[in-house]
Amino acid sequence: MAIMNVNPTRMQLSKLKKQLKTAVRGHKMLKDKRDELMRQFLDLVRENKELREKVEAQLKNCNDHFVNAGAVMSKQSLDASLMSPKQQVSIETSSANVMSVDIPVFSWDTRTSSDGDIFPYGYAFTSFELDDAVMSLNDLLPDMIKLAQLEKSCELMSAEIEKTRRRVNSLEHVMIPRYQETIKYISMKLEENDRSSRTRLMKVKDMLLDKAHNYSST
Amino acid sequence: MRFMAKHIAVIGDSESIKGFSAIGLDIFPCDDTEKAPQLFHHIAEGDNYAVIFITEEIYELVEKERRRYEERLTPAIIPIPGVKGNSGIGTKRLSSFVEQAVGSDIIFQ
């Protein structure tokens, strides 16, 4: 691992030691964040998978109902029956915070309160197949909204987990080793300087003694 | 915390989505596949919809336009199977999330 390009001074050393401490603490916290995010994400994804399978199966069912209705009624009258909807769904979006990730929470409301009051047509000229189709689709709506909420949450969380994972890895495998190497390099360099100045001093002392008294310490 | 009343949009071929209008969702029939990106952009940018359900065929066509909304809270863009059947895009999308987060797909395989 390459060391950083710094001057081997005591000031640098204490600065680096502080930075290393921060990096280690940050690493630990990010790792905890990643683990917790991952745990929640996996729960969400499992739930999401089940719900998606359910919704897709039911949607297929609804489509079958509509095909049946289309077979009994003419296309024009089918389209005309569905043309002017009575029902209107409105969604309120709020956000929940999961480990610093904002995920959406959808709460929804419909214009007509009763489930039986949703049909946008009179029953006289339409087949019961169409009633079935609309009813089954209406039953599916809460699940579909739940699915939308879950999938969006999974999408946002997976992006955040990837980011956090990259940060953890870069701290663990790049930043922290680099700090450690640099600290080691500086302290070795300082020790070496220390030793070399000490030997120089000893040498100078010898020379001075030799000069003054013709006396050698050895 | 923001509270705003928004609606749900459904984009797809008219055959697949006409039922949704009866239960109170706003439908946007899109039988001309060339106009799909434009239509999608118009709907998503309007900020009027919290959820956009989109049939799988159209979902694939607007891949570039979808990217901008990936990091936003709304709209949630969700693929659904149309009358032509399920091509598995929804499941693939989920497994791509797992792959992105974990590094390899440990749930779907």
Domains of chain A: residue spans and CATH: 10-206 (1.10.287.3240)
Of B5, B76, B80, the CB nearest to A90: B5
Residue B54 with chain A: CB contacts under 8 Å = none
CATH of the domain at B62: 3.40.50.10580
Mean pLDDT, rounded, for A46-64: 90
- Pick the range with the lowest mean pLDDT from A126-130, A166-170, A176-180: A126-130
Rounded to the nearest 5 degrees, what angle is found at the Cα of A7, between the Cα atoms of A5 and A11?
Answer: 125
| DSSP states along A136-169 | HHHHHHHHHHHHHHHHHHHHHHHHHHHHHHHHHH
Q: Which residues of A touch B24 (CB under 8 A)?
A: 85-89, 110-111, 118
- Per DSSP, what are the bridge partners of residue B28? B11
Query: Does A215 score more than 80 pLDDT?
Result: no
**Amino acid at position B80, single letter:** I
To 10 degrees, what angle do helices A10-72 and A176-213 make? 170
Nearest-CA distance A94 → chain B (Å): 5
- How many whole angstroms separate alpha carbon A70 and alpha carbon A93? 36
Which among A98, A164, A157 is positioned nearest to B98, based on CA atoms?
A157
- A79 or B42: whose pLDDT is higher? B42
In total, how many domains does chain B have?
Answer: 1
CB contact under 8 A, A120 and B22: yes
Determine the pLDDT at residue A217. Answer: 57
Least Cα distance to B19 among A110, A149, A119 occurs for A119
Which of A51-60, A69-78, A145-154, A157-166 has the weakest average pLDDT? A69-78
Mean pLDDT of chain A, nearest integer: 87
Percentage of residues in chain A having pLDDT higher than 70: 95
Residue B99 in any domain: the answer is no
Cβ-proximal residues to A195 (8 Å cutoff; 6+ apart), any chain: none
Contact B22, A134 (CB under 8 A): yes
Question: Residue A124 corresponds to which tokens in the numbers above?
Answer: 């006289």
User: To probe the interface with A, which of B97, B98, B107 has the most A CB atoms within 10 Å?
Assistant: B97
- The residue type found at B33 is T
* B17 close contact with A: CB closer than 8 A: no
**Looking at residues A150-176, what average pLDDT do you find?**
93
Consecutive sets of 10 residues in chain B, 109 residues long: mean pLDDT of each? 73 85 85 84 85 89 85 87 83 90 80
B101 within domain boundaries: no
In this prediction, residues A78-100 reach a mean pLDDT of 82
Mean pLDDT check: name the lowest of A59-73, A82-96, A114-128, A177-191. Answer: A114-128
A83-108 average pLDDT score = 85
Handedness of CA A172, A174, A180, A183 (dihedral sign): negative
Residue type, B7: H
Average pLDDT score over residue span A15-20: 95
Note down the domain range covering B59: 7-82
pLDDT at site A116: 66
Tell me, what's the pLDDT at A82? 77
Whether B67 and chain A come into contact, CB under 8 Å, resolves to no
- A184 burial (CB, 10 Å; 0-12 / 13-18 / 19+) is exposed
Q: Which residue has the higher pLDDT, B15 or A150?
A: A150
Task: Give the three-class secondary structure for B76.
Answer: strand
CB contacts of B5 in chain A (<8 Å) are 90-92, 109
What per-residue confidence (pLDDT) applies to A204? Answer: 94
Residue B20 falls inside a structural domain: yes
Identify the band that residue A183 occupies on the pLDDT scale cut at 50, 70 and 90: very high
In a domain, B17, yes or no: yes
Q: Which two tokens stand for residue A172?
A: 């663990």
